[in-house]
Structure 1
Amino acid sequence: MIKHQHQAILSHYPSSSICNTMTIDEPEPDPTFDPISEWLADPLSYIPSFLDEPYSLNDFYEESWWSPSESINQEMHINNNNSLTSFDTSLIVTHTSATPLEPIIASHLPPLDSPRKRKGNDSDYNFEASRKNQNPRIYDTDDGEAIVVERVTTRKTAGHKKATHKSTGNNGNNREGRWAEQLLNPCAAAITAGNLNRVQHLFYVLQELSSLNGDANHRLAARGLQALTHYLSTPCSTSLISASAGITTFTSTNPKFFKNSLINFNDISPWFRIPNSIANSSILQILLKHDSSRNLHILDIGVSHGVQWPTLLEELTHRPGGPPPLVRLTVITPTMENDQQRHNPFVVGPGGYNFTVQLLAFAKEININLQINRLENYPLQNLDSQLINSSPDEILVICAQFRLHNLKHQNPDERTELLRILKSLEPKGLVLSENNMDCSCNSCSDFATGFGRRVEYLWKFLDSTSVAYKGRESERRRMMEGEAAKALTSMGEMNERKEKWCKRMRTVGFAWEMFGANVIDRARALLKKYDNNWEMRVDAQDGCVDLWWKGEPVSFCSLWKIDPTT
């Protein structure tokens, strides 16, 4: 019955496809080589343009070595178009509801008689027009449902300033201003309830307000509308291939563009930069407790795609006593079984991307004896000391960052089993970084509740990227946002709050270890380079370092050692 209803809804709407058009706002200048970038075959380095000095974020744009050697136009081979296919509005809502429908009360929605698609950047509002006609408007539809919409004044912000770090994001933590969620969540609830008329009506409103070139609300509406359309078209499907068709993501780009874009994102957003920095500092903290003559072995189960490690290698050269005799890096790449991992956000890079050769060359330049072993298509559950070739004589540190939540947590409990396996490797330390949010899988919630959690996650990302990219359109931004939008449809997004993760760690025999003062100080100094809506909190109860955006949790980092009592 539900499937037929889904088909009935979609019969009124062409498939909502997003193709991208490359628009480059500014030509990139010719590069100036920096010595540290010699590890690359091109002038972009994985070393961020700032390390831990408290400079302004704007300072990074003044570094001439930042510019890539080729224009992005030459790197990209994607035919893009930034508008959703228009729905046929002549077919919208031809049924009358058997039961009265509640009106949609959304006090901060933009008016439906405004330009149909916002084509400009986040900051391209008509501020004078937005001050006029503040009175509420009521829009009626054929099913007797009413939409109450108020115009609101949008205040232009000044963007980044060296002294103030003022945010360019909109609405802050004011949920009333987050109108896209006020449309997407009721739409998901209507789908769950099988309310055909309400779904059709909300689809119409979302289509009118969706744009991939607007502010965070318009972008979220566009991404959410596509996700809901995908869900309705394949309600029982476990294949998510069509969900990302035509969207710029990691796998749809070429390796050079992907690498440069990822470096850029880490420089302008702390989303992954802070967890990576904390992990690197934690490794240095662990090394201080052991004999400096022992080899270091890092087990990389993460999503940094190599960007994290040049900074650590550079820091090892400044370590008292010099770097370890040998640094081993074992990278566990995601498996492609059932093609599921490809649809998990930030996990899989483009075909042909491999940072090994360049990282080895960089290590040689700074006199680090580095060995890299990539384990391709090995399920995490199959890890053992023989597979990673670990030795009791080395200092083994495991970095598990934003990958373990893709494992099932019940029937079977794959993540707890993996944690037991990691403990059996006898690491000297384990860094766990994860999203700090409730699970959205079918076992933990119904579709409406789970979808609402996914939407909230994507809102934080889109709102923060609006600030990070200063409201400017670029293919780099489009790629990062397209990758994050996978969270709306991926079956592998099974997050948990940090309290549950900490409980799991203790259950399998780990004990949390407090981050050293140097780790915290370095992370705080680094965070000052970003927008002041970012916040770092240290939880004395569980030892975690939490990253927050506009007063809401985003992720957490934690450090663990084997509990000697187990």
Structure 2
Amino acid sequence: MFLQSPSLSDGTPRSVITGPLRGCVGSLDGACIEKLLLHCATAIETNDVTLAQQVMWVLNNVASPIGDSNQRLASWFLRALVSRSSRVCHTTMNSDGGSAFPRRLMTVTELAGYVDLIPWHRFGFSASNSAIFDAVRGYPKVHILDFSITHCMQWPTLIDALAKRAEGPPSVRITVPVFRPPVPPLLNVSTAEVGHRLANFAKFRDVPFEFRMIGDDRFKSLSSHLTRSELDLGDHEALVINCQNWLRYLSDETKWSSGTKDPSLRDTFLDIIKNLNPRIVVVVDEDCNLSDSSLASRITTCFNYLWIPFDALETFLPKDSCQRLEYETDIGHKIENIVGLDGFQRIERLESGAKLSQRMKNAGFFGVRFREETVNEVKSLLDEHASGWGMKKEEVMLVLTWKGHSSVFASAWVSTEPDIS
């Protein structure tokens, strides 16, 4: 399947598998698969080609892209380890270097179905839009600076809510960067076309609307556009900064320059947006720490975390569902980046909600608690999905859970201390 090598069932002597690995042959237990993955990673890191091949042969018997959730998850980790081994060990292992199910550009309709499949994205949309709606109450103008990877899919719901506002709808401007991390989901229409469709929707709802793109296809040039003058911010305009699955793609590495420690790109970005004095900043991302330099740590954390969407999809989609395969493929690309790559090639650098909250506080932001109305809206959304989904409140965060395991966090922040009187 992944390696052009004989598997154990095809004649490889079981004697090559020794010690703790022997008990894992044929097992589908998640803990045993995790153990095999760690043994394989250790072999690769120590350039033990023989052991790496042996463990991969065992994994090849267990992994299957159309098996149960553990088998499907294992298949993507195996692919990532094969990719890593081909560079680190300089082995002759054969791998096609690509994905079993290549990325496909989605239509807007398909993207809507993708977002609706599980509440992974809709949870953040619902919590963020409710917090934004509250923050811009009474403002005649709203300017949303949107940093996200979901092609503005959250905004029709907010535009619709603003259209029904008791005091009348505000004028809405949405500004998006031309730069977008090269990650799924991918769309078959341009960002300009997305803006045009949003404008048509806003016109239908009688909401004055403007859509603008800034910068170019490089993130480093974006900072020069993030000034009040470049953004043409008005005195009576409520600035909203939306970060949905975005901060993880900004490097958190720091460098020493002239005897001083330079801030990371992530911290620099937060300093820039704080200086814009936004009315509110909403930050939504996956609640997991995957920025560790240790490969073993990343594998353990990633395996136990990304089990969540694989298990959730298992509950309601058949094994051969094309929709399921495509969704899992997008997760697989993330695994390939987290496990297979290092240095600046590894762009998936998640940090947990707790770590992100501390980073926001260090940057001078103050957390805003979500109102009960927001909590109830999110709970209503989750009622539309499988019973395994739930929500918990942690300090200033709302956290989406699957069977009690944290998956996605939503948080709201302001640049000056809120008045709680």
For the aligned pair, the TM-score class normalised by the smaller chain equals: 0.7 to 0.9
Whether 1:515 and 2:360 are equivalent positions in the alignment is no
Q: For 2:310, what is the secondary structure of its paired residue?
A: helix
Matched-pair contact (CA < 8 Å) for 1:178–1:217: no
Q: TM-score, normalised by structure 1?
A: 0.64
Whether 1:221 and 2:74 are equivalent positions in the alignment is yes
Matched-pair contact (CA < 8 Å) for 1:512–1:543: yes
For residues 368 and 50 of structure 2, the distance between their equivalents in structure 1, rounded to whole angstroms, comes to: 54
Q: What is the aligned counterpart of 2:336 among 463, 486, 489?
A: 489
> Which amino acid is 1:302 matched to?
S
**Structure 1 residue runs without a partner (length 5+):** 1-83, 93-111, 117-138, 153-170, 336-340
* 1:314-353 equivalence runs, <5 A: 314-324=160-170, 326-335=171-180, 341-342=181-182, 344-346=183-185, 349-350=187-188, 352=190
Q: In the superposition, relative to structure 1, how do residues 86 and 507 fare at CA in structure 2: closer, same or farther (>3 Å)?
A: closer
Matched-pair contact (CA < 8 Å) for 1:188–1:447: yes
Q: State the 1:350 CA deviation.
A: 4.6
Q: State the 1:349 CA deviation.
A: 3.9
Q: What is the aligned counterpart of 2:304 among 456, 480, 493?
A: 456
Q: State the 1:513 CA deviation.
A: 0.9
Whether 1:87 and 2:4 are equivalent positions in the alignment is yes
Whether 1:501 and 2:356 are equivalent positions in the alignment is yes
Q: In the superposition, relative to structure 1, how do residues 179 and 357 fare at CA in structure 2: closer, same or farther (>3 Å)?
A: farther
Q: Which residue of 2 aligns with 1:140?
A: 14
For residues 345 and 560 of structure 1, the distance between their equivalents in structure 2, rounded to whole angstroms, comes to: 27
Q: In the superposition, relative to structure 1, how do residues 202 and 261 fare at CA in structure 2: closer, same or farther (>3 Å)?
A: farther
Q: What is the aligned counterpart of 2:295 among 438, 447, 451?
A: 447
Q: What is the aligned counterpart of 1:434 among 249, 266, 285?
A: 285
- Bigger mean CA deviation after superposition, 363-372 or 376-385: 376-385
* 1:4-403 equivalence runs, <5 A: 84-85=1-2, 87-89=4-6, 140-142=14-16, 144=18, 147-149=22-24, 177-235=30-88, 245-248=98-101, 252-256=103-107, 259-288=108-137, 291-292=138-139, 294-324=140-170, 326-335=171-180, 341-342=181-182, 344-346=183-185, 349-350=187-188, 352=190, 354-375=193-214, 376-377=216-217, 379=219, 380-382=222-224, 383-403=226-246
- Cα RMSD after superposing both structures: 2.8
For residues 393 and 555 of structure 1, the distance between their equivalents in structure 2, rounded to whole angstroms, comes to: 33
For residues 518 and 243 of structure 1, the distance between their equivalents in structure 2, rounded to whole angstroms, comes to: 51
Q: In the superposition, relative to structure 1, how do residues 545 and 389 fare at CA in structure 2: closer, same or farther (>3 Å)?
A: same
For residues 544 and 194 of structure 1, the distance between their equivalents in structure 2, rounded to whole angstroms, comes to: 43
> Which amino acid is 1:357 matched to?
H
Deviations 1:193-242 (A, max 9, x none): 333333222100111222211111111121111100111112399xxxx9
Matched-pair contact (CA < 8 Å) for 2:282–2:411: yes
Q: For 1:234, what is the secondary structure of its paired residue?
A: helix
* Residues paired across the two proteins, number: 390
Q: Which residue of 2 aligns with 1:34?
A: none
Q: State the 1:533 CA deviation.
A: 1.6
Matched-pair contact (CA < 8 Å) for 1:179–1:217: no
Q: Which residue of 1 aligns with 2:254?
A: 411
* 1:516-531 equivalence runs, <5 A: 516-531=371-386
Matched-pair contact (CA < 8 Å) for 1:436–1:554: yes
For residues 475 and 388 of structure 1, the distance between their equivalents in structure 2, rounded to whole angstroms, comes to: 42
Deviations 1:95-126 (A, max 9, x none): xxxxxxxxxxxxxxxxx86xx9xxxxxxxxxx
> Which amino acid is 1:395 matched to?
A
Q: What is the aligned counterpart of 1:537 among 383, 392, 407?
A: 392
Q: In the superposition, relative to structure 1, how do residues 323 and 178 fare at CA in structure 2: closer, same or farther (>3 Å)?
A: farther
Matched-pair contact (CA < 8 Å) for 1:400–1:430: yes
For residues 438 and 287 of structure 1, the distance between their equivalents in structure 2, rounded to whole angstroms, comes to: 32
Whether 1:552 and 2:405 are equivalent positions in the alignment is yes
Q: TM-score, normalised by structure 2?
A: 0.84
Q: In the superposition, relative to structure 1, how do residues 312 and 351 fare at CA in structure 2: closer, same or farther (>3 Å)?
A: closer
Q: State the 1:287 CA deviation.
A: 1.9
Matched-pair contact (CA < 8 Å) for 2:47–2:88: no
Q: Which residue of 2 aligns with 1:473?
A: 320
Deviations 1:241-296 (A, max 9, x none): x99734545xx42342xx333211322311111011111111111122xx34x211
Q: For 1:267, what is the secondary structure of its paired residue?
A: helix
For residues 161 and 101 of structure 2, the distance between their equivalents in structure 1, rounded to whole angstroms, comes to: 34
Matched-pair contact (CA < 8 Å) for 1:534–1:549: yes
Q: State the 1:472 CA deviation.
A: 4.7
Q: State the 1:310 CA deviation.
A: 1.0
Deviations 1:335-359 (A, max 9, x none): 5xxxxx32x454x545646412222
Matched-pair contact (CA < 8 Å) for 2:69–2:310: yes
Q: State the 1:458 CA deviation.
A: 2.5
Deviations 1:462-485 (A, max 9, x none): 222223x52353333222211111
Q: Which residue of 2 aligns with 1:135?
A: none
Q: For 1:482, what is the secondary structure of its paired residue?
A: helix
Q: In the superposition, relative to structure 1, how do residues 86 and 177 fare at CA in structure 2: closer, same or farther (>3 Å)?
A: closer
**Bigger proportion of residues as helix:** 2
For residues 298 and 17 of structure 2, the distance between their equivalents in structure 1, rounded to whole angstroms, comes to: 28
Q: Which residue of 1 aligns with 2:342?
A: none
Deviations 1:159-178 (A, max 9, x none): xxxxxxxxxxxx9xxxx545
> Which amino acid is 2:197 matched to?
Q
Q: Which residue of 2 aligns with 1:8?
A: none
> Which amino acid is 2:122 matched to?
R
**Bigger proportion of residues as strand:** 2
> Which amino acid is 1:449 matched to?
S
Larger Rg: 1
Q: Which residue of 2 aligns with 1:68?
A: none
Q: For 1:486, what is the secondary structure of its paired residue?
A: helix
For residues 544 and 351 of structure 1, the distance between their equivalents in structure 2, rounded to whole angstroms, comes to: 34
For residues 272 and 244 of structure 1, the distance between their equivalents in structure 2, rounded to whole angstroms, comes to: 29
Percent identical pairs in the alignment equals: 26
Q: State the 1:149 CA deviation.
A: 5.0
Matched-pair contact (CA < 8 Å) for 1:547–1:556: yes
Q: State the 1:527 CA deviation.
A: 0.9
Q: State the 1:328 CA deviation.
A: 0.5
**Structure 2 residue runs without a partner (length 5+):** 256-263, 338-345
